[in-house]
């Protein structure tokens, strides 16, 4: 196919979520997680909360409206330099192409921007894609939480030093 007729490659952009993203965020939650899903109310709260950031990844192939294909939620606490990545998800059809890495980098940048010097998270001990994502990007496992998830699976806690805030 010549360059003139080739379809433009889709572009993924990141931005903060707004109320109009609620339905797509809920659909992503159902597609990406088999259990322990966030409910609509919790997602709405994350969008509005001044101590949380909900980032969304949008795929834009210029032929239709942008499609929400990923999201990450970062939580902060007053008087704490530690932020928590409480959720990260990529649409199953788009997994394995580096989008999780981009969202994670954006989450780290957001935490730094809010004065945090550390990002922490929990991941299911059987979530190989998540564990690989975090370990390849410098996260260190520092604790195990037994029976943390609805089905009794343990959680591994990871953290990363983000440098000087
Ligand atoms: C975990 C998750 C966010 C990773 O997103 P992603 O876009 O696949 O991330 P990346 O493409 O950056 O890949 C992360 C690593 O897993 C590997 N991987 C992820 N999905 C894969 C797949 N379906 N097939 C092969 N490899 C895969 C990637 O190769 C990569 O490893 P590498 O850095 O050695 O190449 C995504 O799989 C997901 O949404 N999972 C369901 C929700 C979830 O478990 N969230 C984490 C909760 S803590």
Domains of the chain: 11-118 (3.40.630.30)
Q: Ligand 1 atom closest to Cα of 123?
A: 48
pTM beyond 0.85: the answer is: yes
State the pLDDT at residue 3: 43
Tens-digit pLDDT profile for the chain (165 aa)?
444 455 556 799 999 999 999 999 999 999 999 989 999 999 999 999 999 999 999 998 877 889 999 999 999 999 999 999 999 999 999 999 999 999 999 999 999 999 999 999 999 999 999 999 999 999 999 999 999 999 999 999 999 999 865
Own/partner contacts of 149-154, CB < 8 Å, gap of 24 or more, are 149/35, 149/36, 149/124, 150/35, 150/36, 151/35, 153/124, 153/125, 153/126, 154/124, 154/125
Q: Whose CA is nearest to atom 9 of ligand 1?
A: 100
Distance 49 CA to ligand 1 centre (A): 27
Residues with CB under 6 A from ligand 1: 32-33, 88-90, 95-101, 123, 127, 129-130, 132-133, 136
């Amino acid at each position: 196919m010549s360059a003139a007729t080739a379809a433009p490659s889709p572009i993924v952009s990141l931005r903060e979520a707004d109320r109009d993203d609620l339905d797509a965020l809920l659909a992503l939650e159902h597609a990406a997680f088999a259990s322990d899903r966030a409910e609509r109310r919790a997602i709405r709260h994350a969008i509005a909360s001044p101590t949380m950031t909900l980032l969304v990844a949008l795929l834009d192939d210029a032929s239709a409206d942008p499609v929400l294909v990923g999201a990450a939620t970062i939580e902060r606490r007053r008087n704490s330099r530690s932020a928590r990545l409480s959720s990260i998800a990529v649409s199953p059809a788009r997994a394995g192409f580096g989008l999780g890495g981009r969202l994670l980098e954006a989450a780290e940048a957001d935490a730094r921007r809010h004065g945090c010097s550390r990002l922490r998270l929990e991941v299911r001990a059987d979530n190989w894609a998540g564990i690989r994502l975090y370990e390849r990007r410098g996260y260190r496992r520092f604790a195990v939480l037994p029976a943390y998830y609805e089905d009794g699976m343990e959680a591994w806690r990871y953290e990363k030093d983000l440098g000087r805030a």
